[in-house]
Structure 1
């Protein structure tokens, strides 16, 4: 079944597809530049990213059968949509046409993101049947690592050739990478698409409580992760300004003084996100029940939120507590993505994992719309406007608790089903 080179047929093409599409998380590098260039408010431009995540999730929800039937076709569709959308964003900026940014970056590129994210997953699980978690973790790590790789490259290109040319140059680079991925990716020898066993009714999946338990847990993990990630700079700003060495500095001087610290923290964040994607999915290979990983993620996230609230009045301790919260929640955020396919495989089987994975990724679409907005709403209505971010932490702790309950119910319902089938 798995005769052949699984690195060149599965891992390498997965990375060649996921690293380009993972640059969607580099949005913060150029969103203010787009707003300035188009004379638009940052809030209105932000819809480009929100739409990209929404269409990522929704296209994945409907692309499962296509990926199941023809992985080469889905890889090609992903490449065309992503590259056209990315280059089209540059064209829209050059034409000072904001709706074009929404259409190209949000809709067209978003479809490429969803189809591309889904494409390598089942293929990896087929090639690495004994280490499914590790295999999907490595590939999905490419999605998480893309920000750390591409952000400095984007900043360099913007400074060297300008914002519009940056989109054109990287569109060409990503086209080559994804084309090679398309040419390399293939199923294991002997695998044959069987409509009778590979097709599953979406309605039958949506009727199962286990699916909704996983969906809710996944949605909450992403929503909380995005809510915290969207506030990272402001959180660090609020914490650092209490330190004596920054007292008396003007806002401009303070921003310059802490820029290096914030840059380092965000870089370490990316490392934890990537490590979480590989580490938690690998851990799942050694556990009897895959949902145990989600329970670990939620318990860890609740613990660091509670720790941060407990030391809220102590400057040095607060900084370390905040860093622990940012790093570990980011690790859990990444781990939730990489563990999802093997969790669905456990409950629904490998044959239909593309469809069930796609449906569950719809939670990403809605989280993309709600995560940032939740954080913005809580911060805007915080009673303490000096440390506004502090109001967000108990909300996140509460949501993580709901997620823990939801995934624990998956264990309960899944166990009952297994007992009945035995």
Structure 2
């Protein structure tokens, strides 16, 4: 059914989307406090790391299974997201306070992860309905909010930890997120004239039998896996390269640590901007091209090029900072762009009626990539033959994986879009 967009789409769609996504996007602030959790609970950092891995896994799996519920009732999904996310975040603080490590896995990983998955899906279709002529731009706005959450919340978290303590930081921000997400729940609504109808919606049983879905899933999975593999090693790559630069090599260990922290912090902040710009830019690009897949083609070609740049210039071995920064910034942009372009690409092939269901199932790739991306990088770096430049071993492997993703998305482009037949 064609909806009539009477009302204010900014207060009914954009602002609620940002309130929800900027709140739940703080899952990416994990690095701010993971070492502190390990220290306070007397656990190994590698063990504590499972809290984040579980959160991403349950994000993807809850989205995969609860997509139909989001289709039926956006208000219900918004409140479920609020409750699960806030209880999970506050429960993490309680678990730390009582010294219960499994509680971190249960609350941050499982309960908060479910809130993440439902909350991630909730605003997406709504924005596409309100911005029927600029669906890519609309989803880019919301998903950019998710990407920018780390840049916004990280300094706030660090300030709260320094002034009130780690546990109180969780309690205070739980209240802040509860208020923000509740405002999102109150204001989010479908366009006037939208009526949910069950007929003509694709079921998950039918969907998983479609090769085009799995080709998109594979391309999305590889983009996340490669992005996480590189991003997870980013600090160490920069740290090693800095040690080889004359400006930094002459410093004593304390001075080097301070200078390196400042430089790496700046790079990570710029990374966040490129990530958000990629989320906005590539999804908007998809609005102005004949096929939504074009954005993914650009992402994969760009990612292959910057990885090969490292292979052929030996940037990491020689300590050439500019090519390395170009690679990190552009891979981050492509990583973010893959998320924001996915909903409109799925809508192109499966229609608006089932976009939350299809999008949710596709996000299972995120769940699996959240477990495999870091592990891939760790395995390659650990087993690199050239231990002095172990991170360079990642580059040809990432280039090959991006090439596989490119082939997959080019095969998708051979499939005729189906949205005209299932418009809503």
Shared fold (TM-score, shorter chain, > 0.5): yes
**1:167-316 equivalent positions in 2, closer than 5 A:** 167-197=170-200, 199-312=201-314
Map of 1:64 onto structure 2: 67
Kept after mapping to 1: 8 A contact 2:67/2:357: yes
Contact 1:345 1:353 in 2 (8 A): yes
Quote the residue 2:401 is aligned against.
Answer: 399
Q: Could you tell me which of 5, 30, 33 is aligned with 1:30?
A: 33
Alpha-carbon distance between aligned partners in 2 of 1:19 and 1:395, rounded to the nearest angstrom: 33
Alignment of 1:362 with 2:364, yes or no, is yes
State the distance in 1 between where 2:185 and 2:297 align: 36
- Is residue 2:16 matched to residue 1:9? no
Deviations 1:113-166 (A, max 9, x none): 000000000000000000000000011100000000000000000000000000
Deviations 1:252-292 (A, max 9, x none): 33222211110000000000000000000000000101011
Is the 1:242–1:315 contact (alpha carbons within 8 Å) kept by the matching residues of 2? Answer: no
For 1:353, the equivalent position in structure 2 comes to 355
The alpha carbon displacement at 1:309 in A equals: 1.9
Over the residues paired in the alignment, what is the CA RMSD in angstroms? 1.6
Instruction: Count residues in correspondence.
Output: 418
Is the partner of 2:354 in helix, strand or coil? helix
Q: In structure 2, do the counterparts of structure 1 residues 196 and 269 end up closer, same or farther at CA, with 3 Å as the change threshold?
A: same
* 2:45 paired residue among 39, 42, 45: 42
1:387 Cα offset (Å): 1.6
Distance 1:45 1:236 in 2: 24
| Cα-to-partner distance string for 1:331-370 (whole Å, 9 max, x where unaligned) | 0000000000000000000111000000000000000000
Conserved 8 A contact 2:316-2:392:
no
What's the counterpart of residue 105 of structure 1?
108
Q: Write the mapping of 1:54-93 to structure 2, written as runs, cut at 5 A.
A: 54-93=57-96
1:394 is displaced (CA, Å) by 1.1
Question: Is the 8 Å Cα contact of residues 242 and 319 (structure 2) preserved in structure 1?
Answer: no
CA contact (8 A) 1:243 1:315 kept: no
Once the two structures are overlaid, the 10-residue window that deviates more, 101-110 or 201-210, is: 201-210
2:167 equivalent in structure 1:
164
Tell whether the 8 Å contact from 1:79 to 1:179 is kept in structure 2 after alignment: yes
- In 2: Cα distance, 1:163 partner to 1:286 partner: 46
2:157 and 2:92 map into 1 onto residues whose CA distance is 14
Q: Tell me if the contact between 1:137 and 1:279 (Cα under 8 Å) persists in the aligned partners.
A: yes
2:136 to 118, 124, 133: 133
| Contact 1:137–1:338, Cα closer than 8 Å, also in 2 | yes
* Cα 1:275–1:208 shift into 2, 3 Å: same
Residue among 130, 141, 146 paired with 1:143: 146
CA contact (8 A) 1:308 1:318 kept: no
Find the aligned partners of 1:242 and 1:304 in 2 and give their Cα distance.
21
SS at match of 2:311: helix
Offset, 1:315: 7.8
Distance 2:189 2:214 in 1: 32
1:335 aligned residue:
337
Distance 1:177 1:314, change over 3 A: closer
So what's the TM-score if we normalise by structure 2? 0.96
Q: How much has 1:314 moved relative to structure 2? A: 8.1
> What CA deviation, in whole Å up to 9, does each residue of 1:384-410 have, x standing for no partner?
112211111111111101100111111
TM-score (norm 1): 0.97
Stretches of structure 1 lacking an aligned partner (at least 5 in a row):
none
Matched, 1:387 2:389: yes
Secondary structure of the corresponding residue to residue 7 of structure 2: coil
Unaligned 5+ segments in structure 2 are none
Question: Could you say if the C-alpha distance between residues 315 and 227 of structure 1 is closer, same or farther in structure 2, counting changes exceeding 3 Å?
Answer: closer
